[in-house]
Amino acid sequence: MAEDTHSPPDRRTRKRVRLVLLGLLSYLMFLVPMCIAVLAGASRMGWGGVAGFTAAAVVINLVVLAAVASGWSKRFADPSLMVPQLVAAIALALAMIHFFQGEARSVLLLLFVAIFFFGLFGLTTRQYLRLTIGTAVGYAALSTWELRGGDAPTQAWLMEALRFSALVVITIWMSFIGGYLASIRRRLSKQRDALEKANAKLQELSIRDELTGLYNRRHLTERLEQESERGRRYGQGFSVALIDIDHFKAINDTHGHSVGDEVLVQFAAILRLQARFIDHVGQAPERTLGRFGGEEFMIILPGTSLAGARICLERMRAAVARAPFETSAGPVEVTFSAGLAEQQPDEAAEALLQRADEALYRAKESGRDRLEMDARTS
């Protein structure tokens, strides 16, 4: 499946860009033996040929670099364009070998080792073998074309046969070894990705309530501390609400704890749905809502005044009151009481939570199914 071509550069794209730059560096490293061969008279390409080879290598790599860095290459199954890069490198190597003679020609066969080694970054054994066949056919065609006619000595044919056999053996060996090592890299990469996903899932589970799927008390406490510190540092106030299901003990005593769990799950789902409309700081709605313990829940409302928090909680209370709580024991009527408090300047999280808890106690003492606010200043 093709990747999104319009997404911003990610870790994999940056890795592909570095790989292209490494390929360009490899091309430029070939300049050293090329220059030595020209100085030693072992190459017919001359300095003009060296300049032409350099220009071709730079152009090829710049084109690939532009395709990878811009994300255009993501539309292909191989976003790194590994195979096209290697095909271009093999073609340039064959062209360069054509201008070399004698011992220098044999030495330059080592270029193919470097080219095939570059494939360790992503080729499969099948892709390697296809490149091996292409390289062998290309070299055989080059040698045949160079020795065309009947005046070529037998020794020249034998030397080319020797080079050809060495090239085939080396590239086949590199194909199997390189494909094996590349498969290990891919397997390790998949295992690393799976491990990262598993760690992320474990981290998520560690802050979630097992029954309701909402955030648990530990995470709520951490979030409350974070919001309190932000409020003290930047003066951005927030409100907190403690919610308690009315007469929940009676539900458990009458219908059993399994029915009580059903009520908790449905209650949490209603709060989660309503919480989508009370997020004021661009965070995920669930980050402000959680189960504080038992039948008690907490909602943290960043950037929300006490009056705004009351409007949100009244809407929630109305949604719960009209919701049909269908359980295995039949329909159950559910209401809740809530206590609200707004952070005061330099107020600690514990003090704010205590004020919300006192407001909740007053709501329950005043008849339940109601909200109470603590508007005291610190």
What is the arithmetic mean of pLDDT over 108-129? 80
- Asked if 340 and 359 touch (Cβ cutoff 8 Å), the reply is yes
Q: Which of 295, 342, 347, 372 is catalytic?
A: 295
Of 92, 90, 108, which is closest to residue 54 (Cα–Cα)? 92
Highest mean pLDDT, choosing among 120-124, 207-211, 360-364: 360-364
pLDDT at 336: 96
Cα distance between residue 227 and residue 237, in whole Å:
8
Of the listed ranges 87-96, 98-107, 284-293, the least confidently predicted one is 284-293
User: Given a cut of 80, is residue 356 above it in pLDDT?
Assistant: yes
pLDDT at 107: 79
Q: Is 295 a catalytic residue?
A: yes
User: Given a cut of 70, is residue 367 above it in pLDDT?
Assistant: yes
What is the arithmetic mean of pLDDT over 82-110? 82
What residue ranges do the domains of the chain occupy? 11-202, 217-374
Of the listed ranges 121-125, 204-208, 314-318, the least confidently predicted one is 121-125
Q: For the chain, count helices (H), then strands (E).
A: 13, 7
pLDDT at 378: 43
Q: What percent of the chain has pLDDT over 70?
A: 93
pLDDT at 375: 65
Per-residue confidence at 150, pLDDT binned at 50, 70, 90?
low
Of 247, 221, 242, 271, which is closest to residue 362 (Cα–Cα)? 242
pLDDT at 41: 81
> ∠ CA 57-61-63 to the nearest 5 degrees?
120
Could you read off the pLDDT of 281-302 as tens digits, one per residue?
334 334 579 999 999 999 998 8
Per-residue confidence at 2, pLDDT binned at 50, 70, 90?
very low
Phi, psi of 326 (to 5 degrees): -90, 120
Topology adopted by domain 217-374: Alpha-Beta Plaits (3.30.70)
Of 132, 126, 98, which is closest to residue 113 (Cα–Cα)? 132
Of 79, 31, 86, which is closest to residue 61 (Cα–Cα)? 86
Could you read off the pLDDT of 212-270 as tens digits, one per residue?
989 999 999 999 998 888 888 877 788 999 999 999 999 999 999 999 999 999 999 99
pLDDT at 9: 54
Q: How far is CA 36 from CA 39, 108, 207, in A?
A: 5, 12, 65
> ∠ CA 195-197-199 to the nearest 5 degrees?
70
Cα distance between residue 216 and residue 141, in whole Å:
71
Could you read off the pLDDT of 198-207 as tens digits, one per residue?
888 888 778 8
